[in-house]
Amino acid sequence: MRMTIIFQTAKMAAHAILSSKLRSFLTMLGIVIGVVSLVVLVSLASGASASVADEIAGMGSGRLTVNISDDKGVPMKIKDMEQVEALEEISLAAPLGQASASGKYKSVSGRVTLYGTTASYKEIQGLSLAAGRFLKTFDVENHTYAVVLNQAAAKEFFGGAQAVGQSLRLDGTRFLVAGVLEEEESVTGNVSERLEAYVPYTTLMRTADSVSEITSFSVKAANEENPDAAQEALKKLLLERFSQDEEAFTIVSPSALLEAMGSVDDAFALLLGGVAGISLLVGGLGIMNIMLASVTERTREIGIRKAIGASQKSIMLQFMMEALLISLLGCGVGVGLSWAIVQGISMATGEAFGVSVKALGASVAFSAAVGLTFGVYPAYKAAKKHPIEALSAVR
């Protein structure tokens, strides 16, 4: 019986909405805009975050990076990497120094980011070679002028020619190209265009005034599936070296980055949802405004229904049902437009963005809540009309 009443009420509400299609569409336009804003913004943000998360996860969970901010007068040297590698929980360690240099080959020149490191860095970072070799222990111990280029640098200076075996001047010093790395994609999915070169750490110390002691290094945990033990062992070693001062250094792991990014994503999604929610509230005000006008226009209908025995509850249910249907129809149109917009952006950018299921659920729930909330007052006003007054008002 109750379901029959609800069905009949919904049927009357739908008839009332369809009897004035243009006004109903304009009424739901605010809901449409709000839903599109919510779904599209959250979907794009979620897609970008997922891309970054995949990039971080691709770094390998067993890799840890240490940054030293205060060496307490006992700076780390190359030989200290052996002490780090001696830890049972750590398999490899490699320093990383950075400088900028002017690269030149014949008439071609450009700014190159120089990284000073050791042979272990290749395995720690999971780098792959397209040609030649990476740096070796021999290069570090003998301060050789060997250099390994990324694809962007190899193409910039040597074009399509074989780069391995060629000479490249960096700040006037002649380096022999020992290897070329495979092409890598950036976080955004685009191929990196930065000109990068890897040289022995000891060589960089000689050629770059800004690089002396080790202020940053990376390690690979012996147990890559559970790097916590390696992190604890490394922390203990560094605390002993730097007078138990935890502020002297930081240890960064992919898992910590993912946790921090997750917190930022949640806050960002909440912010975007709040902005879109304002649009939905504005749409709700539009629904209430039109429903109030509808109550006034349909005074005779309300009077007749109440005169033949319709209860206040049934009148109120009908008008609330109308507000709810308008809101949900607007939500449906907004979801369809959102899907089309997200697909269009995916095709235009080449990124595989998808519609956020959470955003869809939130938009449906919020739209329903807006329709019911802003439909209460007009429905109450309609239900409270006295049948005689309602009939006499239109004479």
From CA 277, how far away is CA 261, in angstroms rounded? 24
Provide the pLDDT for residue 59.
54
Q: What's the rounded mean pLDDT across residues 356-385?
A: 79
Provide the pLDDT for residue 51.
65
User: What count of other Cβ atoms lies within 10 Å of the Cβ of residue 1?
Assistant: 5
Sign of the C-alpha dihedral computed for residues 164, 167, 171 and 173 taken in this order? positive
Provide the pLDDT for residue 95.
95
Q: What's the rounded mean pLDDT across residues 56-65?
A: 68
Provide the pLDDT for residue 316.
74
Provide the pLDDT for residue 388.
57
Residue 89 has pLDDT above 70, yes or no: yes
The whole-angstrom distance between residue 264's C-alpha and the CA centroid of its chain comes to: 9
Q: If DSSP codes are grouped into helix, strand and coil, which group holds residue 99?
A: strand
Q: What's the rounded mean pLDDT across residues 21-43?
A: 81
Q: What's the rounded mean pLDDT across residues 11-35?
A: 76
Provide the pLDDT for residue 52.
62
Provide the pLDDT for residue 263.
63
Residue 114 has pLDDT above 90, yes or no: yes
From CA 199, how far away is CA 149, in angstroms rounded? 9
How many CA atoms are closer than 13 Å to the CA of 20, on its beta-carbon side? 16
pLDDT, one tens digit per residue, over 164-223 is: 999 999 999 999 999 999 987 544 344 557 899 999 999 999 888 878 889 999 999 888
pLDDT, one tens digit per residue, over 302-357 is: 666 666 666 777 777 777 788 888 888 888 898 999 999 988 888 887 777 778 78
Residue 391 has pLDDT above 60, yes or no: no
pLDDT, one tens digit per residue, over 241-281 is: 998 998 899 988 766 666 666 666 667 667 766 776 777 77
Contact 168, 103 (CB under 8 A): yes
Provide the pLDDT for residue 188.
39
Residue 122 has pLDDT above 80, yes or no: yes
Domain residue extents for the chain: 2-55+260-392, 62-252
pLDDT, one tens digit per residue, over 280-302 is: 777 778 788 777 777 766 666 66
From CA 331, how far away is CA 342, in angstroms rounded? 16
Contact 375, 284 (CB under 8 A): no
Q: Quote the tokens at residue 326.
A: 């308008």
Helix-then-strand count for the chain, H and E: 13, 11
Provide the pLDDT for residue 187.
40
DSSP string covering 342-386, please? HHHHHHHH-------HHHHHHHHHHHHHHHHHHHHHHHHHHHT--
Strands (E), the chain: 63-68, 90-95, 97-105, 108-117, 129-132, 146-149, 167-170, 173-181, 196-200, 216-221, 249-252
User: What count of other Cβ atoms lies within 10 Å of the Cβ of residue 89?
Assistant: 18
Provide the pLDDT for residue 179.
95
pTM: 0.59
Provide the pLDDT for residue 9.
63
* Least confident residue range of 7-21, 73-87, 254-268, 346-360: 254-268
Residue 94 has pLDDT above 70, yes or no: yes
Largest CA distance in the chain: 106
From CA 332, how far away is CA 387, in angstroms rounded? 36
Number of residues that make up the chain: 395
How many angstroms separate the Cα of 224 from the Cα of each of 63, 89, 182, 231? 8, 10, 24, 11
From CA 151, how far away is CA 3, in angstroms rounded? 68
> Nearest CA to 147 among 96, 206, 204, 185?
204
